[in-house]
Structure 1
Amino acid sequence: MPLRCSQLSVHYGGRKALSGFRLTVQKGEIRALIGPNGSGKSTALQAMAGLIRPAEGHAAIGVSPVSSMSRRDIARKLAFLPQQPSAPDEMTVAQLVRQGRFPHVGLFRSYDREDEAAIEWALESTGLTSLADRTLQE
């Protein structure tokens, strides 16, 4: 299920921070946004994740517009970790990755084998297994 955005424009206080941004990412595909500071990379990611509302254009996961999805549904399909996360410095890499399973687990269910397997897969596929027990500060 692809992530698509079309003609995204974001304004902050009447000033354009992003204009006409387009991107499609297919399942299993890896893309990088590269550009100088202030060019709109983080703004584009936040708009695609539904964290900020674009002034123009739209983002969709599959056929569902992000603007019509619940935060939980978006989180089940898309993760956004900002460059400056607000997680405590003493949190480990594994604990941070584990938080990514929360939308799949819910409030009153504990993590099961499927969740643990997903956490292990995420650590392995990103080359973080050897860093799993290190704190974010490290």
Structure 2
Amino acid sequence: MGHKVINLFARLFLGGMFLFLGTDLVFNWSYTSDVVKKHFEFVQGHHTGFFESIYTIADSILPIWLVFFLVICLLFGILLILGIKQRLISGVLFILTLFFGFFYHPFWLLEDAERLEEMIDLWMYLGLLSALLYCFSATFEKKPRPDTENKS
């Protein structure tokens, strides 16, 4: 029983967080897009070569990225709270959070205070990843093996 209660709270908290992020993005669209654009410009200034071109492309389609992120947060947040396709939803959110964490917080390119701030943000993403990994693994049920049943 305890495992199911922990799983329920994990789904409620994680799904609620993604749902909150999505609704915040809807109600503060211009502010959020400005903040993300400024952060992209800041990070883009520290990239060279291949990564610079990726950030240039990502910056040019920023509204599409934000709409994609909005849909994922709202839809997957609701599905995670309800426990529908929990393994699939938490797996997809894990991969996207991992990608966005390293893409949006490249602390290894920065120095001093900027580096520390981005590293702290990345550690928060890693904490979120561990919770998503728990939700992913919580869906695996232990089933008795047929060869260990009592034979009478």
Note whether the superposition's TM-score is higher than 0.5: no
Higher relative CO (Cα under 8 Å, sequence separation at least 6) belongs to 2
Q: Which has the higher strand share?
A: 1
Q: Which has the higher helix share?
A: 2
| TM-score for the superposition, normalised by structure 1 | 0.25
